[in-house]
Chains A and B, each alone.
Chain A
Amino acid sequence: NAGVMQNPRHLVRRRGQEARLRCSPMKGHSHVYWYRQLPEEGLKFMVYLQKENIIDESGMPKERFSAEFPKEGPSILRIQQVVRGDSAAYFCASSPRGGDYEQYFGPGTRLTVT
Chain B
Amino acid sequence: ELKVEQNPLFLSMQEGKNYTIYCNYSTTSDRLYWYRQDPGKSLESLFVLLSNGAVKQEGRLMASLDTKARLSTLHITAAVHDLSATYFCAVPGLYNNNDMRFGAGTRLTVKP
Contact = CB atoms under 8 A, between A and B. Distances in A.
Contact of B88 (A42, A103, A107): A42
Interface in A59-82: 59
Interface residues of A, number: 25
Interface string B75-112: 00000000000001010110011111111110000000
B69 interface: no
Nearest to B33: A102
A91 B98 contact: no
Given A43-B88, A100-B31, A108 B100 contact: no
B45 A56 contact: no
B42 A106 contact: yes
Interface in A77-94: 91, 93
A56 B100 contact: no
Contacts of A56: 96, 98-99
9 contacts: A35-B102, A42-B4, A42-B103, A43-B90, A55-B98, A56-B99, A91-B42, A100-B97, A103-B100
